[in-house]
Structure 1
């Protein structure tokens, strides 16, 4: 890949014996300062609240029952 224009200028300054601007960067520039935590149960439920992931037991049995009927029908033919 090609180098950015700013990086080319930095490398040229180092070759010429001038100060490298990367040395002036704060050590915090390289750190990821975000704190991470595992989501709570409430956060997980809220994330999928309106995505229709809540099925009642009747719907689950109904789809399983249809599959069972289709399998029985294929054996009869």
Structure 2
């Protein structure tokens, strides 16, 4: 494979005794930050625990308005 222009520049800097720009990289530069894991069953239950479950008394904020009754 061909060597990129940036890599050639870094190698040239090192040959000339200058500081290597690779040394300034963060320790996380080579870490794979895309690691994913699926949620466990308990995490899923806790996530959906309070979603629309507050209407057990029938008090969910809805109401019925009867406009047709005898006025």
Q: TM-score, normalised by structure 1?
A: 0.46
Greater RCO structure (CA 8 Å; 6+ sep): 2
Q: TM-score, normalised by structure 2?
A: 0.49
User: Quick check: which one's helix share is greater?
Assistant: 1
